[in-house]
Chain A
Amino acid sequence: MAQALDEIKIGGLGASRRRVEDNRFIRGKGNYIDDIVLPGMLHMEILRSPLAHARINSIDISKAWDIPGVRLVLTGEMMASRNLAWMPTLSYDTQAVLATDKVRFQGQEVACVIADDPYIAKDACEAIVVDYEPLPAIVSPQQAVAEGAPLIRDDKENQHDNVVYDWEVGDKEGTDRAFAAADVISELELHYPRSHPSPLECCGSIADFNRATSKLTVYMTTQAPHIIRAAVALVAELPEQMIRIISPDLGGGFGNKVPVYPGYVMSILASILLERPVKWIEDRTGNLISTGFARDIYLRGEMALRQDGKILGVRMRTDADHGAFFSDAQPSKFKIGLMHSAFSCYDIPAAHLTARGTYTNKAPGGVAYRCSFRVTEAMFFQERMVQAAADDLGIDQAEFRRINFVRDDDFPHRTPFGFLTDSGQYGKCLDVGLEAVGYQDFLRQKEEAKREGRLLGIGISTMTEPLGAGNSREYDILGIKMFDSAELRVHMTGKALLRTGAKTQGQGHETTWAQIVAHELGIPAEDVTVEEGDTDTAPFGMGTYASRSTPVAGAAVAMVSRKVRAKARKLAAHLLEVSEDDIEWELGRFYVRSAPDRGVTIQECAMAAYSNMPDGMEPGLENNAYYDPPNLTWPFACYIATVEVDPETGVWDVLNVVAVDDCGVRINPMIVEGQIMGGLTEAYAMSSMQFITFDADGNCVGSNYMDYLLPTAWETPGFELHEVVTPCPHHPIGAKGIGECATVGGPAAFVNAVMDALRDTGARNIDMPLLPDRVYEALTERHDVSGAPPVRSDDG
């Protein structure tokens, strides 16, 4: 009897296969955008506005032209003459490429210089003289809608105020009834401060227009190359098939590399004008001050509660600060993304959400940074409200969650906002987490410590979140449906080439997609090469963000493998001279049911596809699949953090972090754990130190790494990870996706822990970041600390 293949040994599902991409990264042979050099390439630098809101009276570029080595200087006026001063955004708004009439945020692009080297380009930028006339700046949604607020988007014909949208979802009447029947109403107001994905590699592009072939090739840091191709075709009015977008190795993305940035457009125009490749690599300041930020949203919530702990209804109100242009990449139907996925893990009869977005004099954005389309905000809000409600009722944190969890046998479950969750073992995940952290013991320790004047705290965060956007009935970006794709070609020697419409930025697709093929076809993963990112070769996809790749592109990989296997079955039947009905499959091999020793390997089928086809069969062994997911997937997580707060300084140390993740079937456990730890670190960062804020004039604090604080290995705690597996019922391999879960659910665990340590002070909330001075203030003044840290004041 032929030995069956060992799926783990060939790198199939569940194998902690070491990563293919590592081979080049550990040698320093990655191919990141700034590593790419094209013959004749020039360098572009951008001049940015120092003011947040100002009229531009004049721009004098004459001295810039005087510097030897300068090839081109572009201003908004010059772009406008080519209809390129403004471009459409992914949210049906417009965004300035180079400012013409006004600057609308500090750091906005005002001019650019293309020169022989980046140093000269920067020299020339310094020589450009701009005459600004300052205008009052708006730095919050509250200011934006206040009486007499200056109009930021006076460029838009039908815009008479600073409101971008008013939106609502849910059942207002039902929710009002629930509140009328409530025993207790719990309230909470939060600000989720502005943050920034800040991958370690900044954004950039190399535009290369070839006049002889009319082809435009753009190397670009993009998580969604096909969306970019469509956008460039639209904006530059070039034929789509003459545009090639190549996304090379990306040094992180986290949503920062989804939007179309003005720098890309400028580099494209410059290349067309100069007929030479033009490279633009932004610096860190440009990245932090102008590219897609995340969060910056005010949340107000109320929870209607019954005395026994049941949640009867939830009301949510969000005010989102969108910056100067509405440029979010998010499903077009939902103005505030999937904010209304909040509370999906709890069985709540009624809920209502109202949302407003406003323009402010800050960089555009809002949807980014592993947010799953505003789900980070939703789940933070949810778990902070849940903690407050449990406290208001006097019920234990874990118990309160248990009372309200959707039960294992309640699936499929329709949430009050209309989502359909389909699977989960919420109670079990909570049990595993509480056991791992030693919940009862910790509560005892907490009491003992209090007697010694020490403050310990424990914080729980549980959530299920919607991943894998999304089904074509409801999800689209700019009208393009959010499916994804895979194309598999098996060569005659049984090796394979797989291309997908996703784009990895560190998630390990080159390693994990091959594992799915290995699972479906029995071809060893190391025999499958994975390519992504080149729109000339990759099948159309919507890219990688919002943790959508495993649920959607991964599903496409499974489906295309099955299509190939179906053809291979026919070839096997031909080779074994039996009918297809007599053929059975085991990993890597077809065999005759009645004579199992008679079989052919998948590799033999591949060879036959080129050399021994049955009559009437097309040669070759390849196919593609476009996958329109039937529903979102719903991973669940329980994160628990324990902390100690120093009552004299407000400094808090993390004692333990326990993470229980149920993301369905894990393709590569090692990589899944890596994603979780990365997300927990971002959660820790946001809760403790990471933020961007502005003073009253719109000056940005947090536009460089001295002010925008990323934790180092020294501050970052260690993590204890646990696993529960509830397969996704509709995903071909039962996987749910994991990339953003810890970033989504993590922050509340840390904040809940610190607030738990401060329980006796009566303070219910400290807005992130929980810097020592803010914790100290809550401790000693015994009140909430709200809003972002103030930039400066003259007191003291």
Chain B
Amino acid sequence: MLAGGQSLIPLLKLRFASPELLVDINNIPDLDYVVVDPDGAIRVGALCRHADLERSTLLTATQPTMAAAAPLIADPLVRNRGTLVGSLCHADPQGDWASVVTALGGHVVAQGPEGRRTIPVSEFVTGPFDTALATEEMVVEAVIPAPKGAPAGGYLKLERRVGDFATVGVAVAVEVAATKITRAGIALTGVGGATIEAVDAAQALVGEPLTADRIEHAGELAAQAAQPRTDHRGSAAFKRHIVRTFVVRLLDRVVDSREMAA
């Protein structure tokens, strides 16, 4: 299936993939949306480009984790064609959007001859470049569930230069009500065979105010959840350290932004 093609076509060119049939969905109308539902859920259509998300003032206002990630995907030219949904379906273990949508507890809506079904993103990817989609199914949109509290968070990516895959990527998505965290999601890019959901780290934040100790603790748990390999981007120890550092930085920013708003 060809949407943005920014991951698929390179594979075809390098002859790592030779499909017999390629279905180009780019001419299907009305799939290029990013909308916020009345309840606050965000829906991203299959043909919504990374660049649309980067430019979306809607997202900047309502979804800081996504807004932070959008400009960091690949490079500006690739962002003009590539799609968030396509990125999820490509299921590259080093994909950034998978971490973001996982941290936000999102799901994809798959449509096939049998109708539509919802698949949580954490169950959607079944292995490197492999998803739970059936052959005749296509993902029509990705959905970020309506927040109950005020969304806060961000995405930090350690990359050696624009367009590089993440050495380490960290998505932090929390919801704040009064002074407490009511929901938290933390997901990691590039430190395992697939996106890693740092469940314990996120859970450690829920129901409590964000103190420096809590933040440190969450960072530590997230580092432990990572399964990085030592390679030419860095040692495993270094990558764990960056996970910890980025979690702390993102949570510190949440604290700062709330204080500024107050």
Please tell me whether chains A and B touch each other in their complex, using a CB distance cut-off of 8 A.
Answer: yes
Q: How does the 8 Å CB contact mask read for A692-723 relative to B, with 1 for contact and 0 for none?
A: 01000000010000110111101100000000
Q: Is the interface of B mostly helix, strand, loop or mixed?
A: loop
Q: Contact between A773 and B162 (Cβ–Cβ < 8 Å)?
A: no
Q: Does B207 sit within 8 A of A, measured CB to CB?
A: no
Decide if B232 touches A651 in the complex (CB within 8 Å). no
Question: Are B232 and A649 interface neighbours, CB within 8 A?
Answer: no
> Which residues of chain A have C-beta atoms less than 8 A from B232's C-beta?
693, 701, 707, 789-792
User: How far is the CB of A362 from the nearest CB of chain B, in Å?
Assistant: 16
Q: Which of A122, A710, A771, A795 contacts B234 (CB 8 A)?
A: A771
A contact residues around B235 at 8 Å (CB): 773, 777, 795-796
- Chain A residues in the interface with B (C-beta under 8 A): 122, 126, 648-651, 688-689, 693, 701, 706-707, 709-712, 714-715, 771-773, 776-777, 789-796
B238 to chain A, nearest CB (A): 4
Given contacts A792-B230, A792-B231, A793-B231, contact A772 B161 (CB under 8 A): no
The interface residues of chain B lying within 8 Å CB-to-CB of A122 are 15
Q: Which residues 228-254 of B have a CB within 8 angstroms of A?
A: 228-242, 245
CB closest chain-B residue, reference A773: B234
- Cβ-defined contact, B234 with A709, below 8 A: no
Question: How far does the Cβ of B245 sit from chain A's closest Cβ, in whole Å?
Answer: 5
Contact B231 A689 (CB under 8 A): no
The interface residues of chain A lying within 8 Å CB-to-CB of B164 are: 706, 709
CB closest residue in chain B, given A705:
B163
**Is the pair A709, B160 in contact by a Cβ cutoff of 8 Å?**
yes
Within 8 A of A (CB), among B202-232: 227-232
At the interface, yes or no: B158 with Cβ under 8 Å from chain A?
A: yes
**Which one of B167, B230, B238, B240 contacts A793 once the chains associate, using CB atoms below 8 Å?**
B230
Within 8 Å by CB of B238, from A126, A777, A792, lies A777
CA–CA, A688 to B163, complex, Å?
Answer: 16
Write the nearest CB–CB distance from A763 to chain B, whole angstroms.
15
Shortest Cβ distance from residue B43 to the other chain A in the assembled complex, whole angstroms: 31
Is B24 close to A, CB under 8 A?
A: no
B155 close to chain A: CB less than 8 A: no
Chain B residues closer than 8 Å to A791, beta-carbon distance: 231-232
When the two chains form their complex, are residues A772 and B158 in contact, meaning their CB atoms are under 8 A apart?
A: yes
Question: Assuming the A-B contacts A714-B162, A776-B241, are A796 and B15 also in contact, with contact meaning beta carbons closer than 8 angstroms in the complex?
Answer: no
**Contact status of A790 and B231, CB under 8 A, knowing A773-B238, A777-B238:** yes
Report the bound CA distance from A95 to B211 in whole Å: 66
Residues of the B chain whose Cβ atoms lie less than 8 Å from the Cβ of A651: 158
Interface flag for B200 (CB, 8 Å):
no
A771 and B233 within 8 A (CB): yes
Question: Bound complex: CA of A15 vs CA of B240, how far in Å?
Answer: 55
- Bound-complex Cα distance A773 to B235 (A): 7
Alpha-carbon gap, A615 to B15, bound state (A)? 73
> Can you show 30 pairs from A to B with CB atoms below 8 A apart?
A122-B15, A126-B15, A649-B158, A649-B242, A649-B245, A689-B160, A701-B232, A706-B164, A709-B160, A709-B164, A712-B75, A712-B163, A714-B161, A714-B162, A771-B160, A772-B160, A772-B167, A773-B167, A773-B234, A773-B235, A773-B238, A776-B238, A776-B241, A790-B232, A791-B231, A791-B232, A792-B229, A795-B235, A795-B236, A796-B240
Contacts A649-B158, A712-B163, A796-B229 known; list 5 others, CB within 8 Å: A649-B242, A706-B164, A709-B164, A776-B241, A794-B230
Q: How far is the CA of A31 from the CA of B163 in the complex (A)?
A: 30
Scoring B232, B238, B239 by chain A CB atoms within 10 A of each residue's CB, the highest score goes to B232
Task: For B226, give the chain A residue with the smallest CB separation.
Answer: A796
Residues of A within 8 A of B238 (CB): 650, 772-773, 776-777
Q: A702 — nearest CB in chain B belongs to which residue?
A: B232
User: For the complex, is B165 an interface residue (Cβ under 8 Å from A)?
Assistant: yes
Chain B residues whose C-beta falls within 8 Å of the C-beta of A790 in the assembled complex: 230-232
Instruction: Find the A residue at minimum CB distance from B156.
Output: A649
Contacts of B137-177 to chain A: CB distance below 8 A: 158, 160-165, 167
Residue of A nearest to B242 (CB): A649
User: In the docked arrangement, what's the CA distance between A412 and B162, Å?
Assistant: 48
**A795 CA to B237 CA in the complex, in Å?**
9
Q: How far is the CA of A790 from the CA of B229 in the complex (A)?
A: 11
Q: With A776-B238, A795-B236 as given contacts, are A711 and B231 in contact (CB-CB < 8 Å)?
A: no
The answer for the CA separation of A688 and B161 in the assembled complex, in Å, is 10
Question: A122 to B14, alpha carbons, bound, how many Å?
Answer: 10
Given contacts A772-B234, A790-B230, A793-B230, contact A706 B161 (CB under 8 A): no
- Is the Cβ of A796 less than 8 Å from the Cβ of B228? yes
Query: With the chains together, A790 CA to B239 CA distance in Å?
Result: 15
Residues of A within 8 Å of B229, CB to CB, are: 792-794, 796
Give CA–CA (A707, B162) in the complex, Å.
12
Does B161 contact A712, Cβ atoms closer than 8 Å?
A: yes
Q: Are B236 and A796 in contact (CB under 8 A)?
A: yes
How far, in whole Å, are A122 and B13 apart by their CA atoms in the complex?
11
5 closest A-B pairs (Cβ-Cβ)? Answer: A796-B236, A773-B234, A789-B232, A773-B238, A793-B230
Choice from B161, B234, B240 contacting A689 with Cβ under 8 Å: B161
In the complex, chain B residues whose CB is within 8 Å of the CB of A693: 232
Instruction: Give the complex CA separation of A715 and B229 in angstroms.
Output: 26
In the bound complex, CA of A711 to CA of B75 (Å): 12
